[in-house]
Structures are given as C-alpha cells and as structure tokens.
C-alpha cells in the first residue's frame, strides 16, 4: 500500500519514510502543499501523513486536496504545533488522527494501520461508510482521552441568612480540547453508552477532593438517571460512601427518569446510606412539580431562566415566590441558581430566597475561593433603600423594600459580630442595631395605623 509523507523537514521526512517502509509500505514523499498535490495526482496514495505547518501552506490544504481527489482518503496529521483549533478543524474535516511530535514510532504505525483497516472494512461492505467508521473510531478515541483527562471544579452555594458557604457543587471539566465543554462530553458519553463509566470517574474524582473542602460544607454532585442502576453507586467500596452524609445527588428534571420504573427504589437505597437528593433545573421544563411529588427531594435548585432579570419581570417574581413558598411548606431547601448581579439577588431575597449560587459570589474553580458576604450586604442594603418609595408616613404604608433593607442590615451586623468584633466595634454595632430596630418599630406603627 502506498503512503504519501508530507513534511518540509528533510530529517523527519526521511525518518518517516524509513519507519513506514520497514513496515511494508510503499512510501512517496513531498516537502510542500504543491508537491503533495503532484504526488496525489501522479502516485494515487492510499493514505497521507502530513505536517501541519508547511512552507507554502498548511496540512489543512493537503487534506483538502486529498479529499478533492478521494473524499475517503485517510489523512493523518503529525505536527510539532499544539494548535488546538487546527487540530479540531482537521479532525472535524475527516482526519483520522492528529499526533503531536515527537510521536512514538509504534503510535504512528498504529494510526496508519488503523486508518487503512477502517478503509478496508468499508470497502468490503462493513456497516457504514469509511467516514462513518472513522467518525465512530474518532469518537471512541477522543472520549477515551476526555475520560482520562477529567477534573472537577467547584462553585459555592451560599446561605444569605447564615452569612457563609453551606455547600459546593462539583462540576465536570476535561482537558481534551474537542470535549472540554461538559455538555459535549456528556453527550458523547450518552452516544457511546458510557454514562455509567463517566459517572464512576466523576464520583472518584469528587471523593478525592472532598478532604480539601471545608468540613461543614455539603457537596452537590450531578447524577444521570442511567447511573441509578449502577451497582457501584451503593457498593461498600464506593469512594463516596465515607462522605454520604455530606453528599447531595442532583437529578436533572430533563433526565429520562420516566425510563426507570424503579427510580424511587434506587433513590431510597441512596437515602438509607445517608445521601440526600436534589432536583436540578426546577422551572426549565414541564415535569418539575410532578418530580417534587414523586421524588420528595431534600433540595430543589431553581433554574437560572427564572432567576436572571427577575427584578424586571413581575410574572417571574410571582412564580419564584410561589416555588420558594412551596419549598418551605414541604420542608425542601430551595437554591436559586444563576445569581449574577445585585438586582437579581435583591429580587430573590424579596421573594423569600436564602440559598444562592452564581457568578456574583464565585465562578467555578479548582480551588474554591473564600467568600466574604459583608460587602454584598452593604450593596444590597443600599439597593433596597434606593428602591424604597420614600419616608414612612401615616399616608404611606411601608413597602417590602422598606422592610427588607433593615432586615438585611441586621443580618450583616450579626455576621460581623460572629467574626469577633472589637469592643469599640461592638458598641458601634449595638447603636446601629438599636437604630434599625427603631426603624422597624416605626414601620410596624405605620402598618397599625394604615
């Protein structure tokens, strides 16, 4: 079988030719895009191995020329460049592999043999075209790499009334460029039927990080519906078993729980071991309230689509207030997701919210930063005072914003006392508390006379 080697470095070109020739291939070579085009026309190779950077263009140009002659002609990139964009482009355009120099001889030979094997299978009538077989092989390869390169980042969940972080959500990441986004990695695992394997790797990665998190904080972990039937989830040697009392499994309402008739039985097993259950993305779909009745979760996370911009949307304010009140009545903690600015925070607090997650507090990070809420307390109190409709008089009853401002200020003062204030600060704080109590007393009087 004839192989075209394209590289503008004579030494590498010669080394590749010797390696492939020793393995029984007929090798022709070129040192440029123009030379490659000539060889493609004259020699009709069965496979191309090309560098990315060439004197008169790139390996992408060689790939385009090869596929113009034969759309199913396998192309392997062997490059000293770590240009991730070029690598993804090459692979999406049908390249078999993108190897980085210096690649091991066996790795190069394996890529060449695999590409020719797939092409041979397609020509013998195996299921799928060569490109479909290559795509499946590529998906397997990149998913393998992504699974080997996963790591976790953490985003805090904050209690406003307690003035501290109460939990961290563990979020999936991978250093594999083509599957760096968690939604793409999850979709690739679903297509490959490897959700259970991905879940096991995530749980092991989270368990390894829990000892480095504050002891008082819970850990939220996303759990796909298909993982419920995984025996390792409740096994004695499960890496999370020792931390069960701190772990909250988030079940997204978009997951196919309807496909699992025994979902509640599996969740009962988890609860018996000390784990808790959360419903994720409440409000993002149509089955939310039904899931509350069916799963009886410990925590509900309200989707950011209901939270962002809620200050300007009276309809969403009504919905948000109703969901928070429903959670309170059912004994379910409610976390508002997607809090990005002080307006959203003020609006959700005004609706009765206390637990929050979002960029306003911290972005996901491998090492979660310490959270200081004192500054946000001051900003929020100022914002609510701005929204107040004027001084309290017998003719004007206090608004919700009027009441919220001193209450938030009192929470901030209580938080500062917990931090160990000096004697002078304690006197100043006591005076401020008395002033705020008097302010609230005036509002009560105004309500009484209204």
Q: pLDDT tens digits, residue range 32-78? A: 999 999 999 888 888 898 888 888 888 899 998 988 888 778 888 88
Q: pLDDT tens digits, residue range 315-372? A: 888 888 888 988 889 899 999 999 998 888 888 888 888 899 999 889 999 988 777 7
Is residue 264 situated within a structural domain? yes
Number of domains within the chain: 3
Same domain, 105 and 54: yes
Listed in sequence order, the residues at least 6 apart from 135 whose beta carbon sits closer than 8 Å to its beta carbon are none
Range(s) of the domain holding residue 230: 149-371
Same domain, 134 and 45: yes
Same domain, 35 and 66: yes
Compute CA distances 131 → 14, 111, 178, whole Å. 30, 15, 18
> Average pLDDT in the 279-298 region?
74
pLDDT for res 85: 75
Find the helix or strand (DSSP H, E) in which 337 lies.
none
CATH code for position 337: 3.20.20.450
Over 60: is that where the pLDDT of 389 sits?
Answer: no
Q: Decide which of 371, 406, 438 is a domain's last residue.
A: 371
Listed in sequence order, the residues at least 6 apart from 254 whose beta carbon sits closer than 8 Å to its beta carbon are 281, 284, 285
- Measured distance CA(194)–CA(227) in Å, rounded: 10
pTM: 0.62
Give the pair of three-digit tokens for residue 68: 């113009």
Is residue 301 situated within a structural domain? yes
Same domain, 123 and 161: no
Of the candidates 36, 35, 33, 30, the one whose C-alpha atom is nearest the C-alpha of residue 14 is: 30
pLDDT for res 411: 63
Over 60: is that where the pLDDT of 150 sits?
Answer: yes
Same domain, 205 and 139: no
Give the pair of three-digit tokens for residue 313: 């949307």
CATH code for position 141: 3.40.50.2300
Is residue 378 situated within a structural domain? no
Whether the bond between 422 and the residue before it is cis, its omega within 30 degrees of 0, is no
Give the pair of three-digit tokens for residue 370: 């310490």
Same domain, 131 and 158: no
Q: In what order do the strands lie in the sheet with 75-79?
A: 26-30, 2-6, 47-50, 75-79, 97-100
Same domain, 176 and 58: no
The burial class, CB within 10 Å (0-12 / 13-18 / 19+), for 273 is: middle
Is residue 336 situated within a structural domain? yes
DSSP-derived letter for residue 276 is: E
Q: Decide which of 112, 146, 180 is a domain's last residue.
A: 146
Place of tokens 């080394």: 15
Same domain, 290 and 157: yes
Q: Helix/strand/coil (H, E, C) string of 422-439?
A: CHHHHHHHHHHHHHHHHH
Is residue 397 situated within a structural domain? yes
Is residue 377 situated within a structural domain? no
- Judged by phi (left if over 0) then psi (alpha if -120 to 50, else beta), residue 44 lies in left
pLDDT for res 399: 65
Cα 292 from chain centre = 24
Same domain, 9 and 107: yes
Q: Decide which of 371, 406, 440 is a domain's last residue.
A: 371
């Amino acid at each position: 079988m004839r192989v075209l080697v394209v590289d503008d470095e004579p030494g590498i070109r010669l080394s590749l030719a010797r390696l492939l020739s020793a393995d029984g291939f007929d090798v022709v070579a070129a040192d440029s895009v123009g030379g490659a085009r000539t060889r493609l026309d004259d020699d009709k190779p069965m496979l191309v191995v090309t560098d990315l950077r060439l004197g008169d263009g790139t390996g992408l140009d060689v790939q385009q020329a090869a596929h113009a002659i034969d759309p199913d002609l396998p192309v392997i990139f062997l490059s000293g460049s770590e240009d991730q964009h070029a690598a993804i482009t090459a692979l999406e355009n049908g390249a078999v592999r993108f190897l980085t120099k210096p690649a091991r001889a066996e790795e190069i030979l394996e890529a060449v043999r695999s590409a020719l094997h797939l092409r041979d299978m397609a020509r013998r009538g195996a299921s799928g075209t060569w490109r479909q077989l290559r795509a499946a092989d590529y998906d397997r390869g990149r998913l393998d790499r992504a699974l080997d390169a996963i790591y976790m980042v953490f985003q805090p969940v904050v209690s406003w009334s307690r003035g501290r972080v109460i939990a961290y959500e563990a979020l999936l990441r991978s250093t594999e460029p083509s599957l760096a986004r968690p939604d793409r990695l999850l979709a690739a695992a679903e297509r490959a039927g490897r959700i259970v394997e991905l879940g096991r790797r995530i749980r092991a990665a989270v368990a390894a990080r829990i000892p480095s998190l504050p002891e008082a904080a819970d850990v939220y972990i996303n759990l796909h519906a298909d993982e419920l039937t995984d025996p390792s989830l409740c096994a004695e040697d499960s890496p999370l078993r020792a931390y069960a009392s701190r772990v909250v499994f988030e079940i997204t309402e978009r997951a196919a729980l309807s496909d699992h008739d025994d979902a509640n039985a599996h969740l009962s097993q988890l609860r018996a071991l000390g784990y808790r259950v959360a419903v994720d993305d409440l409000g993002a779909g149509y089955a939310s309230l039904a899931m509350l009745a069916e799963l009886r979760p410990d925590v509900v996370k309200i989707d950011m689509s209901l939270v962002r911009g809620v200050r300007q949307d009276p309809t969403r304010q009504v919905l948000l207030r109703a969901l928070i009140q429903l959670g309170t009545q059912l004994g379910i903690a409610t976390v508002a997701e997607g809090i990005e600015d002080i307006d959203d925070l003020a609006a959700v607090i005004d609706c009765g919210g206390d637990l929050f997650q979002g960029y306003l507090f911290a972005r996901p990070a491998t090492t979660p930063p310490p959270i200081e809420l004192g500054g946000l307390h001051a900003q929020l109190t100022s914002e609510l005072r701005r929204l107040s409709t004027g001084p309290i008089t017998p003719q004007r009853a206090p608004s919700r914003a009027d009441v919220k401002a001193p209450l938030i200020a009192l929470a901030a003062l209580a938080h500062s006392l917990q931090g160990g204030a000096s004697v002078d600060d304690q006197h100043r704080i006591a005076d401020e508390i008395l002033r705020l109590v008097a302010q609230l007393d005036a509002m009560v009087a105004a309500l009484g006379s209204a």
